[in-house]
């Protein structure tokens, strides 16, 4: 699996497309995410590629055109995003995020070996959320997790994620 570290955070979650689910010390987000060159330009300006040292995760094309489900884990106290799982059909990957540095570690997901990222992510969050948060530099948040609260929230995350996948890309009204 490929792993790349960046000094810039990824394009933020879009609140208008993100359902937030309280999980105690964390808030989960379920988003249908569309990422293309226009979104990147709007977020970073014309020097966006320089911020990422002109490196792309494995499988991501030169011209970015991705969409699909994204699962987010935010610090409930600060709202900072700490983990993200981009469950795209092409170039599925996940992020360990340390906003204070900023640090963005992108890990390529092996769909062939580990199955769809959404299934893997839900399983890993149920089993290893604390360890993943610690790897993201948020050991303080990990220490505040309540297993029962997280488990209940993840049930809702899974139901919402399955709905979002089935519904597909949102179509703007009007």
pLDDT (0 to 100) of residue 50: 62
Asked, for residue 31, whether it belongs to a domain, the answer is yes
174 within some domain: no
Overall average pLDDT of the 4-17 stretch: 89
What's the mean pLDDT when you consider all of the chain? 88
Whether 41 is in a domain gets the answer yes
Which range scores top for mean pLDDT: 37-41, 43-47, 102-106? 102-106
Share of the chain above pLDDT 70, in %: 84
Q: What is the pLDDT of residue 168?
A: 82
Q: Is residue 88 in a domain? A: yes
The percentage of residues in the chain with a pLDDT greater than 90, rounded to a whole number, is 63
Across the strands, what pairs with 79?
none
- Please give the pLDDT value at position 139: 98
pLDDT top residue among 51 and 2: 2
The runs of H, that is alpha helices, within the chain are: 37-44, 48-51, 111-114, 117-135, 139-143, 147-167
The answer to whether residue 173 is domain-embedded is no
User: Is residue 128 in some structural domain?
Assistant: yes
> What residue numbers bound the domain in which 15 lies?
3-167
Q: Is residue 172 part of a domain?
A: no
Q: Which of 120, 116, 93 is nearest to 106 (CA)?
A: 93
Domain total in the chain:
1
Distances (CA, A) of 145 to 18, 55, 95, 125, 130: 22, 34, 20, 12, 7
Residue 52 in domain: yes
Read off the pLDDT band of 172 (50, 70, 90): low
């Amino acid at each position: 699996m490929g792993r790349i570290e960046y000094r810039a955070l990824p394009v933020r979650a879009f609140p208008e497309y993100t359902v937030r689910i309280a999980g105690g010390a964390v808030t989960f987000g379920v988003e249908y995410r569309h990422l293309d060159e226009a979104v990147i330009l709007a977020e970073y300006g014309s020097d966006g590629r320089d911020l990422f040292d002109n490196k792309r995760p494995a499988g991501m094309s030169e011209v970015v055109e991705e969409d699909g489900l994204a699962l987010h884990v935010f610090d409930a106290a600060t709202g900072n995003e700490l983990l993200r799982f981009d469950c795209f059909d092409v170039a599925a990957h996940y992020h360990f995020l340390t906003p204070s540095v900023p640090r963005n570690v992108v890990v390529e997901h092996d769909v062939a070996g580990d199955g769809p990222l959404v299934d893997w992510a839900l399983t890993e969050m149920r089993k290893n959320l604390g360890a993943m948060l610690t790897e993201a530099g948020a050991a303080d948040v990990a220490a505040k997790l309540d297993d029962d609260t997280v488990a209940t929230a993840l049930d809702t995350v899974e139901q919402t994620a399955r709905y979002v996948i089935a519904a597909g890309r949102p179509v703007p009204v009007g």
